[in-house]
Amino acid sequence: MISQASEALLGSIHGEDNDQIIEVIVKEDEDRFEIRLLSYGEGLGWYVQKTLPIDSIQANELVKILSKTHDTKEKKLIRHDDISTFGKVIRFPLV
C-alpha cells in the first residue's frame, strides 16, 4: 500500500495574465516543500505544469535570497561577459 504524505497549501500567486498560478505546498510528513506552476487550459481547467521539490534547507536559503531583492546593495546584474562558457557559444540578443 502506498501512503500519501499530507500536504498543505501555504499560498498561491496569480500571474500577470491570469493563466498561471504558483502554489507553495508543504509536505508535512516528509519535511519538504514543493513549488508548483499551474497553467489554465481551455476545456481542461487548472493543471500542474511543473513541480519543483525543495527541502527545508533550500527553502530557508530561498527565503534569504528573495528577501535581498528589497536591498538594492545586494542586487547583482548578470551580464553575458560575466558568465564563463566553454566551447562555441552563439549569443542571442536580450529582449
One DSSP character per residue, 11-55 reads EEEE-TTSSEEEEEEEETTTTEEEEEEEEEETTTEEEEEEEEEEE
pTM of the entire predicted model: 0.65
Backbone φ/ψ region at 31: left (φ over 0), alpha (ψ -120 to 50), beta: left
- What ranges do the domains of the chain cover? 1-58
Q: What are phi and psi of 77, to 5 degrees?
A: -85, 135
pLDDT over 70 at 30, yes or no: yes
Distances (CA, A) of 72 to 64, 66, 68, 77: 14, 12, 8, 11
pLDDT interval class at 20 (50, 70, 90):
very high
